[in-house]
Amino acid sequence: MMRAMQLDRPGQPLRLVERPLPAPGPGELLIEVAACGICRTDLHIVDGDIKGPLPIVPGHEIVGRVAGTGERVGVPWLGRTCGHCPYCLSDRENLCDAPAFTGFTRDGGFASHVVADARYCFPIPDAWGDVEAAPLLCAGLIGWRALRLAGEGEALGFYGFGAAAHILAQVAAGQGRRVHAFTRPGDEAAQALALSLGCSSAQGSDRPAPEPLDAAILFAPVGALVPAALRQVRKGGRVICAGIHMSDLPGFPYADLWGERTILSVANLTRADGLDFLPLAAAMGVRTRTRAFPLAEANAALDLLRGGFIEGAAVLVP
């Protein structure tokens, strides 16, 4: 038997259930979960902001060991792609027309065991323990994709300093860039964390940037931050929206966009993102700040994340 925290209806607490161990199909792996990070996307699923099939076991930042071999692997959000749509055939599998997503359209890692497609699992470098590695599987990977879309500019703004930003700040600072962190006004703990990880400045999102930004990455799912960030980006700059869900964007003057500024969204990830990012992050000595919770305390951990009380990333340990 296996244990899992199951979502039956949006807006309701997850329910601890026992199930028979699933049997992996052709090309699949049965994985004993060692740790599973809690991503803001999990909150959007639980709260019903994005809707998929139910019941479902959330969780897509999975580190575990393959049953029978003991190999340590990571399981990310992208669980499967069709391989034959125009996007898959043009090296844009993150935009696949018929994808499967771990913890959203197929059961995920808020459980003692999970089944995953072997083609979409990543080897985990020895640089990290299980709990430390878990947030890299989405917060790190989506952040990495957002950072690449931001371009090569030297002055960056990170709006929202949670799981993803605290990882990517280390990468960007290691690349010699200047990172300016923007948090909820008055969040001194997040600002102190940002400065400790190499950010050049840290302030509330209601304050102007210390210098014109080449690009801004929005990790917070707050639509009102888009025009706020646009006003801090120099001509030709970019605003990258890194979340799968965001509150509606308010109206703003065209003058804030003019000057060949652009707004881009990040959609999912590709396997190439993982194969590029994980070795790079290990070589750069990236470290994650985590707070571990037992599997049965998933609802309490989600409440803390929802309220903004998690520094770094929350991780479930079965």
What is the distance of C-alpha 188 from the center of its chain?
23
CA distance 84 to 96: 9
Span 35-58, mean pLDDT?
Answer: 97
| Tens digits of residue pLDDT in 145-167 | 999 999 999 999 999 999 999 99
Q: Please give the pLDDT value at position 55.
A: 98
Closest CA to 306 of 64, 27, 45, 62: 45
Closest CA to 93 of 215, 258, 223, 275: 275
Q: Please give the pLDDT value at position 217.
A: 98
Closest CA to 10 of 40, 44, 46, 41: 46
| Tens digits of residue pLDDT in 169-222 | 999 999 999 999 999 999 999 999 999 999 999 999 999 999 999 999 999 999
Q: Look up the pTM and report it.
A: 0.94
Helices 139-149/271-284 angle, 10° precision: 100
- Tokens 């959000």 sit on residue: 77
Residue 219 CB contacts under 8 Å (≥ 6 apart), including other chains:
143, 146, 158, 159, 160, 161, 162, 164, 165, 242, 243
Q: Please give the pLDDT value at position 163.
A: 95
Q: Please give the pLDDT value at position 51.
A: 95
CA distance 82 to 99: 6
DSSP 176: T
Q: How many CA atoms lie within 13 A of 178 on its CB side?
A: 10
Q: What angle do CA 214, 219, 220 make, to 5 degrees?
A: 120
Q: Please give the pLDDT value at position 152.
A: 94
Q: Which domains does the chain have, with CATH numbers?
A: 2-136+269-317 (3.90.180.10), 140-265 (3.40.50.720)
| Tens digits of residue pLDDT in 128-142 | 999 999 999 999 999
Q: Please give the pLDDT value at position 274.
A: 96
DSSP 298: H
